[in-house]
Amino acid sequence: MRIVKLNFLLVFTFVFAIGCKNQPEKKEVKKTEQKPNIVVIYLDDLGYGDISAYGATELQTPNIDALASGGIKFTNGYASSATCTPSRYALLTGVYPWRNKDAKILPGTAPLLITTEQQTLPKMLKKQGYQTAIVGKWHLGLGTGVVNWNERVSPGPNEVGFESSYIMAATQDRVPTVYIKDGNVVGLDKNDPIEVSYKENFEGEPTAISNPEKTTMKWHHGHNNSIVNGIPRIGFMKGGDAAKWTDTDMADHFLAKAQNYIKTHKDKPFFLYYAMQQPHVPRTPHPRFLGTSGMGPRGDVILEADWVIGEFMNTLKEEGVLENTLVVFSSDNGPVLNDGYYDDAVEKLGKHDPKGGFRGGKYSIFEAGTRVPFITYWKGKIQPAVSDAIVCQMDLLASLANLTGTAETTTDSKDILNTLLGKSDTGRDNLVIEATGKTALRRGDWVYIPDYKGKNFREKVSIEVGNFPYEQLYNVKEDKGQQNNLAESNPEKLAEMKAIFVKLRGV
Ligand code: NG6
Ligand code: CA
Provide the pLDDT confidence category of residue 146 given band limits of 50, 70 and 90: very high
Binding site membership of 464 for ligand 1 (Cβ less than 6 Å): no
Q: Is the pLDDT of residue 164 over 70?
A: yes
**Residue with CA closest to ligand 1 atom 3:** 339
- The strand pairing partners of 180, in sequence order, are 167, 185
Pairwise CA distance, residues 89 & 42, whole Å: 13
pLDDT in tens, 388-426: 999 999 999 999 999 999 998 899 999 999 999 999 999
Ligand 2 is an ion; its neighbours by CB within 5 Å are 44-45, 84, 332-333
**Residue with CA closest to ligand 1 atom 18:** 84
Ligand minimally distant from the alpha carbon of residue 333: 2
Cα dihedral sign, 273-1-70-412: negative
Pairwise CA distance, residues 421 & 92, whole Å: 20
**Residue with CA closest to ligand 1 atom 17:** 84
- The mean per-residue pLDDT over the stretch 192-208 comes to 98
Calculate how far, in angstroms, residue 194's C-alpha sits from the geometric centre of ligand 2.
26
Buried b (16+ CB within 10 A) or exposed e, 129-167: ebbbbbbbbbbbbbbeeebebbeebbbbbbebbbbbbbb
Q: Is the pLDDT of residue 287 over 80?
A: yes
Ligand 1 atom closest to the CA of 174, numbered from 1: 12
- The mean per-residue pLDDT over the stretch 351-374 comes to 99
Residue by residue, what is the 3-state secondary structure of 402-465?
Answer: HHCCCCCCCCCCCCCHHHHCCCCCCCCCEEEEEECCEEEEEECCEEEECCCCCCCEECCCCEEC
Cα 392–133–12 angle (5° rounding)?
90
Residue by residue, what is the 3-state secondary structure of 347-401?
Answer: CCCCCCCCCCCCCCCCCCCCHHHHECCEEEECCCCCCCEEEEEEEEHHHHHHHHH
Residue-averaged pLDDT of the chain:
94
Residues 6+ apart with CB under 8 A from 352: 49, 56, 57, 58, 59, 295, 299
Alpha helices in 58-114 (DSSP H): 62-70, 84-93
Q: Is the pLDDT of residue 31 over 60?
A: no
Q: Is the pLDDT of residue 20 over 50?
A: no
pLDDT in tens, 493-506: 999 999 999 999 98
pLDDT in tens, 2-19: 333 344 444 333 333 333
Provide the pLDDT confidence category of residue 39 given band limits of 50, 70 and 90: very high
Least confident of 256-260, 316-320, 323-327, 405-409: 405-409
Alpha helices in 230-341 (DSSP H): 250-265, 297-318
Ligand 1 atom closest to the CA of 333, numbered from 1: 17
Report yes or no: 236 and 207 within 8 Å, Cβ to Cβ.
Answer: yes
311 secondary structure, DSSP code: H
pLDDT at position 462: 98
pLDDT at position 9: 40
Report yes or no: 186 and 254 within 8 Å, Cβ to Cβ.
Answer: no
**Residue with CA closest to ligand 1 atom 4:** 339
Pairwise CA distance, residues 220 & 156, whole Å: 32
pLDDT at position 34: 86
Binding site membership of 222 for ligand 1 (Cβ less than 6 Å): yes
- The strand pairing partners of 11, in sequence order, are 32
- The strand pairing partners of 91, in sequence order, are none
pLDDT at position 507: 78
Neighbour tally for 386: CB within 10 Å: 12
Binding site membership of 105 for ligand 1 (Cβ less than 6 Å): yes
The DSSP secondary structure of 460-493, one letter per residue, reads TTTEE----SS-EEEETTT-TT-----TTT-HHH
Grouping H, G, I as helix, E, B as strand and the rest as coil, residue 48 is: helix
Binding site membership of 340 for ligand 1 (Cβ less than 6 Å): yes
Ligand 1 atom closest to the CA of 280, numbered from 1: 17
Of 138, 174, 234, best ligand 1 pocket probe by most atoms within 8 Å of the beta carbon: 234
Residue scoring higher pLDDT (12 or 161): 161
Ligand 1 atom closest to the CA of 87, numbered from 1: 19
Q: Is the pLDDT of residue 263 over 50?
A: yes
pLDDT at position 409: 87
Residue scoring higher pLDDT (373 or 8): 373
Report yes or no: 243 and 186 within 8 Å, Cβ to Cβ.
Answer: yes
Calculate how far, in angstroms, residue 496's C-alpha sits from the geometric centre of ligand 2.
32
Q: Is the pLDDT of residue 377 over 90?
A: yes
Q: Is the pLDDT of residue 28 over 80?
A: no
Cα 351–355–359 angle (5° rounding)?
115
Pairwise CA distance, residues 431 & 395, whole Å: 11
Cα-based distances in Å from 107 to 48, 151, 254, 331:
26, 19, 22, 20
Burial (CB < 10 A; 0-12, 13-18, 19+), residue 459, is exposed
Grouping H, G, I as helix, E, B as strand and the rest as coil, residue 41 is: strand
- The mean per-residue pLDDT over the stretch 19-34 comes to 49
pTM recorded for the entire structure: 0.94
Report yes or no: 439 and 433 within 8 Å, Cβ to Cβ.
Answer: yes
Report yes or no: 35 and 404 within 8 Å, Cβ to Cβ.
Answer: yes
Burial (CB < 10 A; 0-12, 13-18, 19+), residue 287, is exposed
Ligand 1 atom closest to the CA of 83, numbered from 1: 19
Binding site membership of 234 for ligand 1 (Cβ less than 6 Å): yes
Pairwise CA distance, residues 42 & 65, whole Å: 15
Nearest CA-CA partner of 34 in 404, 400, 416: 404
